[in-house]
Structure 1
C-alpha cells in the first residue's frame, strides 16, 4: 500500500514508518520538525519505498499533493509534551484542530482510510480509573493551557467521527497513554527520558509535585504494532481504543528505579508544578487505561515490561 504518516519524523512516527517500510509498503512522511528529528528516520532514508517531506499539515496545498493516491493515513502530527503545549498554546490548538481538519477533508476527497492518534489527556482530571473509552470527561478551567490541549484532541475525535457518520470515511481513533522508548526526548517534558539522561550523567533527577502521581508506560514497539492491527482490522472502523499498558508506577518510584538501574549517584529532588510549568497548573493523580476493548478487537497484549523498556532506553542513550 501507499501510506502517509503525518509527524512521521517524530518519536512514535519514525518507529511506525520503519515497521511499515519493513512490511513492504510505500511510506510517505510529512513533518515540520518542530518536535520531530531527521535523525529519527536515518535508518530508512535511503530505502526506495520511503519518501519524506519537511512541511506543515497546516499547508493545505502541500497536503493535497501528498494525499493523492494514498491508501491509508496515520495522523500523528500534533503538539506534544506538556512543556511544549504550555509554551506554545496557540500553535498547539491550530495544529491539532486545523491540521486534523485538513487531513480528514483530504482523506475523504481521496478515499483514504485514516487512523487518528488521540491522547489520554482526553479524560482530564477524572479520578475514575481505569479509564474506559466511554467514560465522562472532567476538565479544569479554560485559563489552564493543559485543558485546551485536551479539548483540541477531543475536537479531533468529534470531527473524525462526524466524517465517519456523515461521509462514511473509514476512521479509527486511538487514545495513547504514556508511550516511551528509544529516540524519545525529554526536551518537551517527557518524564522517562529526562530521568534516564539525568541519571546517566549523575545529575539531579527532578520530580514534579509530590511524586505520588501514578502512570503506566508502554513501549513504542507495542503501541506501533497496535496501530497497524487497528488500521487493518475492518471491525475497528468508527471505534475509539485505549492503547498502553496497565503496569502502574508512581513517578517517585520511577525516579528511584531509574537511579538504581543506571547505577547512578544522582540525587532525587522535588519541584513544584508552578515552578516547573505555570501558575495554577493541574495534574491528574492516577492515569491507567482499561484495555478490555483493544484486547477484544485485536488481541492486544503488551510484550514489554517497564524494566525491559528502561533497559532499552538506557542502552539507546548510552550510545
Structure 2
C-alpha cells in the first residue's frame, strides 16, 4: 500500500542508500534516487527497480536545476551523496572535498527555498581524535593536522553539519543530522577500504586477512537493517529537527578480534597478517584508536536500539556471500562469540 509520501535519496545507488530505498518502498513510500554512479552501482537497485513507486535518475547532486525539480516533487530528502571510504578519499582529494561541500550546499539551499525536510547523513569520523568515550553528540570534534589528508573527509562533513544547522537557524529549514558509525551489510564493497567486507573477501579466498597496524584499534559495527530502520523512523520525528544524533552499535571489538571472528565463523583457512600502517595507507597516516557511540539520544527520540550483534552480522554476511566452504571450527566460534 502506498502512503503517497515521496522520498528523495541523493547517493541512493550506494550501499546505505539502496538499502534505505528498499526499506522505504516496503513501508509504502514512493522513492526517487539520484546518483552519478561514481561509487554507487545500478545493481544495488535491483530490488527497488521493479516497483512502480520507484524512479532512478543518473545525475550529479550538484546539478541545481535537476535537483530542484526532484526536491520540489519530494516530501523529505535523505542526503547521502558523498565520497566513500578512506582509500577513495586519499586517491581523490579535491573531488572528495568538493563533492561533500558543493552537493550539500545545493541540497540545503533548494530544500530551504521549498521548505522540504532534510535528513543528512554525516559520519563518526567528525569526532576525530577525541578520546572522551563514548562519543556524545555534544562532544568535542578533535580533528588532526591538515597535512594529514585522512582528516579532510571529517572536516568536510563537519562543515556540512555547520551548514545544515545554519540553514535550520537562519532559514527555518527542518533538518536532522545523523552520525553513522561503521554501517555494514550486503552490497558494501571492499573496494574503498572498508574493513569488514575486505576481510570477508580475503577469507572467501583463504587469503591472509590484512590487519593494518597491531589490530588493537576498535570499532563498533552496526547492521544496515538497524541503520535504515533508524533513518526511516526519523522522517516523522519532529523532536529530532535541529538535532545531531548518533546511529550505531555500542558493541566494541578490536580489528584483530574481528579478523579472528571472521576466520572462525566462515571456516576460512586464512591467517592474519599485520601490515605497518604506513605501508597500507602512506606515511603520516592518522587513525582513530577507538570509536564508540553514545546512543542514549536516539533511544530517547525514537526508542531505537540495534537488534543485530556482531556475531549475527558476520553469520548473515558469510551466508549471503558464500565465504569459504571449509568446516567451521564451532568450539572456537562459540568461545569468541561469548
Q: Verify: 1:227 aligned to 2:231, yes or no.
A: yes
Separation (CA, whole Å) in 1 of partners of 2:210 and 2:55? 39
Task: Return 5+ residue gaps in structure 2 as ranges.
Answer: 324-338
Q: Which residue of 2 aligns with 1:152?
A: 156
The offset of 1:2, in angstroms, is: 1.1
Separation (CA, whole Å) in 2 of partners of 1:261 and 1:138? 36
Q: Which of 74, 77, 96 is matched with 1:73 structurally?
A: 77
Q: Which of 194, 201, 204 is matched with 1:200 structurally?
A: 204
The offset of 1:23, in angstroms, is: 1.3
Q: Which of 207, 219, 223 is matched with 1:215 structurally?
A: 219
Separation (CA, whole Å) in 1 of partners of 2:108 and 2:100? 12
Separation (CA, whole Å) in 2 of partners of 1:276 and 1:54? 33
Q: Verify: 1:185 aligned to 2:197, yes or no.
A: no
Q: Which residue of 2 aligns with 1:4?
A: 8
Q: Which of 9, 14, 19 is matched with 1:15 structurally?
A: 19
3-state DSSP class of the match of 1:43?
coil
Q: Which of 238, 245, 250 is matched with 1:241 structurally?
A: 245
The offset of 1:270, in angstroms, is: 1.0
The offset of 1:305, in angstroms, is: 0.6
Q: Which of 18, 23, 47 is matched with 2:51 structurally?
A: 47
The offset of 1:203, in angstroms, is: 0.9
Q: Which residue of 2 aligns with 1:166?
A: 170
Aligned length: 319
3-state DSSP class of the match of 1:44?
coil
- The superposition leaves residues 207-245 of structure 1 with CA deviations (integer Å, 9 ceiling, x where unpaired) of 011100010000000011101112211111000000001
- The superposition leaves residues 37-61 of structure 1 with CA deviations (integer Å, 9 ceiling, x where unpaired) of 1111101212110000111112222
> Is the contact made by 1:217 and 1:244 (CA closer than 8 Å) also made in structure 2?
yes
- The superposition leaves residues 80-107 of structure 1 with CA deviations (integer Å, 9 ceiling, x where unpaired) of 1011111111111001001000000111
Separation (CA, whole Å) in 2 of partners of 1:271 and 1:79? 25
The offset of 1:125, in angstroms, is: 1.1
TM-score by length of 1: 0.98
Separation (CA, whole Å) in 2 of partners of 1:173 and 1:267? 40
- The superposition leaves residues 23-74 of structure 1 with CA deviations (integer Å, 9 ceiling, x where unpaired) of 1111000111111111111012121100001111122222122222211000
Residues 283-298 of structure 1 correspond to what in structure 2 (within 5 A)? 283-298=287-302
The offset of 1:3, in angstroms, is: 0.9
The offset of 1:16, in angstroms, is: 0.3
The offset of 1:196, in angstroms, is: 0.9
> Is the contact made by 1:69 and 1:110 (CA closer than 8 Å) also made in structure 2?
no
3-state DSSP class of the match of 1:150?
helix
The offset of 1:21, in angstroms, is: 0.9
Q: Which runs of 4+ in 1 moved over 3 A?
A: none
Task: Return 5+ residue gaps in structure 1 as ranges.
Answer: none
Q: Which residue of 1 aligns with 2:278?
A: 274
Q: Which residue of 2 aligns with 1:97?
A: 101
- The superposition leaves residues 111-158 of structure 1 with CA deviations (integer Å, 9 ceiling, x where unpaired) of 210000000011001111110001111111101112111110011100
TM-score by length of 2: 0.93
Separation (CA, whole Å) in 2 of partners of 1:312 and 1:6? 27
Separation (CA, whole Å) in 2 of partners of 1:137 and 1:68? 34
Q: Which residue of 1 aligns with 2:267?
A: 263
Separation (CA, whole Å) in 2 of partners of 1:69 and 1:4? 9
Q: Which of 47, 59, 66 is matched with 1:62 structurally?
A: 66
> Is the contact made by 1:183 and 1:316 (CA closer than 8 Å) also made in structure 2?
no
> Is the contact made by 1:2 and 1:69 (CA closer than 8 Å) also made in structure 2?
yes
> Is the contact made by 1:97 and 1:156 (CA closer than 8 Å) also made in structure 2?
yes
Separation (CA, whole Å) in 1 of partners of 2:114 and 2:159? 22
